[in-house]
C-alpha cells in the first residue's frame, strides 16, 4: 500500500491515513499554527474522536426526537446570547464522539434531521438571513448549509448553485429530502460556473454565501488514492485564485448594502485570510463586518484560532470539541 499508513482501533481497521497529505500538512500547518497544530492533527487523524451535530428539520418536526436526543446526552449547540438565532433553528450536540444513526431516504417522507459538523452552521448564523430576502448559495452542494438557511428564514428568492454535475444531483436530493413541495418549487437550483454568476445576475441578492471549494483537510487526510491525493496537493496552489474569482463574482451579484459570508473547511491561510485580504485590498466597494460577537457567544462549544481579525474566525478541532476546521469571514457591499 504505497504511502498509506493503517490506523487500527477497537480491533477493526479504521480509515487509512494518506501519508503524502499528512506530510504536506505537517510542513505547512506546523509553520502556520505553531504549537496548536499537534493537538489539531491528533483530532483530524483519529476519526473515532470525531463528533456529529444533529440539525433538526422544522418541516418534519418530531418532539419524540428531541426527547431521544436529551436522553442520549445531547444539548442545544447554540444559545440566546447569539446576535442572530431564529427560534426555528435547532441543533443538538453531545460532548462525546460518535454519530447519531443516519436516516434512510423514504419517498414522500421528509427527513427529520441532518447530521453535520457543527462548525459548518457558523457561516449560516453569520449570514443572518431574514424572511423575504433574496439569497444566493454560490457553491451549494451537498446542501447542508442550504437546508440550514431554510431552517432560519423563508427567503424571497433562494438560488442554490453547484457547478459540478454529480454534486448538483446530490444537492437536489438533499433539498427534496428536507424541504416540503411548495417551498422546493421556490428554490432555483442551477449548475452555472460560480465565477460568472456576478455578470449573469448583477446586484440581484441581499445575501450571498460562498462556501468555497477548498483543501478539505479532514477528507484529504484519508484519500484512498495516493495518485489523486498527490495531484490535489499540486493543484492546491490554484485554489486561492478560484476562491478570489468566486468572491469577486459574489460581490457583483450582491445589491449595495447586501452582505456575504465566505467559508472553507481548511486551516490553510492561503485559502482563508489571504484571500479575504486580497479582496479587501482590491475591491473598494467592500467592507469587513465584525463577527466577534457571534464568536464570543459560541466560544464555550468551539475553539478558535487566536489573533484573527474581527471580521473572521477559524474553528480549530480539539478533543471533546472536535468541530472544524471551519473558516468564516463576513463582508458587506457599500
Residue 73 CB: number of other CB atoms within 10 A?
11
CA distance readout (Å), 83 to 126, 131, 296: 9, 16, 10
118 is an annotated ligand-binding site residue: no
Is there a cis peptide before residue 108, judged by omega within 30 degrees of 0?
no
193 is an annotated ligand-binding site residue: yes
49 is an annotated ligand-binding site residue: no
3 is an annotated ligand-binding site residue: no
Residue closest to 112 by CA, chosen among 63, 159, 50, 146:
63
Residue 229 pairs with which residues in a beta bridge?
none
- The distance from CA 201 to its chain's CA centroid, rounded to whole angstroms, is 24
Decide: 66 and 74 in contact? Cβ < 8 Å: no
Residue closest to 173 by CA, chosen among 159, 184, 186:
184
131 is an annotated ligand-binding site residue: no
162 is an annotated ligand-binding site residue: yes
322 is an annotated ligand-binding site residue: no
Residue closest to 221 by CA, chosen among 23, 8, 11, 13:
23
> Is 193 in a helix, a strand, or coil?
coil
3-state helix, strand and coil shares in percent for the chain, rounded to the nearest 5: 40, 25, 35
DSSP string, 27-43: HHHHHHHTTHHHHHHHH
Buried b (16+ CB within 10 A) or exposed e, 155-189: beebbbbbbeeebbeebbebbbbbbeeeeeeebeb
143 is an annotated ligand-binding site residue: yes
- Residues forming the active site: 265
Annotated binding-site positions for S-adenosyl-L-methionine: 139-145, 162, 193, 211
Annotated binding-site positions: 139-145, 162, 193, 211
Amino acid at each position: 500500500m504505497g504511502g498509506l499508513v493503517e490506523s487500527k482501533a477497537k480491533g477493526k481497521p479504521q480509515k487509512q491515513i494518506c501519508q503524502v497529505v499528512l506530510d504536506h500538512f505537517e510542513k505547512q500547518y506546523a509553520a502556520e499554527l505553531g504549537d496548536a497544530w499537534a493537538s489539531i492533527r491528533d483530532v483530524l487523524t483519529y476519526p473515532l474522536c470525531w463528533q456529529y451535530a444533529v440539525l433538526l428539520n422544522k418541516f418534519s418536526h418530531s418532539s419524540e426526537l428531541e426527547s431521544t436526543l436529551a436522553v442520549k446526552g445531547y444539548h442545544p449547540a447554540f444559545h440566546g446570547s447569539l446576535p442572530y438565532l431564529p427560534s426555528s433553528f435547532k441543533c443538538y450536540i453531545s460532548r462525546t464522539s460518535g454519530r447519531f444513526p443516519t436516516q434512510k431516504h423514504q419517498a414522500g417522507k421528509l427527513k427529520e434531521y441532518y447530521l453535520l459538523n457543527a462548525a459548518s452552521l457558523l457561516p449560516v448564523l453569520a449570514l443572518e438571513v431574514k424572511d423575504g430576502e433574496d439569497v444566493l448559495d454560490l457553491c451549494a452542494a451537498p446542501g447542508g448549509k442550504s437546508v440550514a438557511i431554510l431552517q432560519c428564514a423563508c427567503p424571497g428568492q433562494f438560488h442554490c448553485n453547484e457547478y459540478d454535475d454529480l454534486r448538483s444531483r446530490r444537492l437536489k436530493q438533499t433539498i427534496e429530502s428536507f424541504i416540503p413541495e411548495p417551498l422546493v418549487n421556490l428554490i432555483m437550483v442551477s449548475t452555472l460556473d460560480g465565477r460568472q454568476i456576478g455578470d449573469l445576475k448583477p446586484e440581484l441578492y441581499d445575501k450571498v454565501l460562498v462556501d468555497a471549494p477548498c483543501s478539505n483537510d479532514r477528507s484529504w487526510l484519508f484519500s484512498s488514492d495516493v495518485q489523486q491525493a498527490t495531484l490535489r496537493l499540486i493543484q492546491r496552489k490554484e485554489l486561492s485564485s478560484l476562491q478570489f474569482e468566486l468572491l469577486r463574482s459574489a460581490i457583483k451579484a450582491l445589491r449595495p448594502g447586501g452582505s456575504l459570508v465566505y467559508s472553507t473547511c481548511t486551516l490553510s491561510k492561503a485559502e482563508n485570510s489571504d484571500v479575504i485580504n486580497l479582496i479587501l485590498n482590491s475591491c473598494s466597494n467592500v467592507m469587513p463586518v465584525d463577527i466577534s460577537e457571534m464568536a464570543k457567544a459560541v466560544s464555550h462549544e468551539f475553539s478558535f484560532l487566536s489573533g484573527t481579525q474581527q471580521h473572521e474566525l477559524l474553528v480549530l478541532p480539539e478533543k471533546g470539541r472536535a468541530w472544524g476546521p471551519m473558516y468564516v469571514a463576513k463582508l458587506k457591499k457599500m
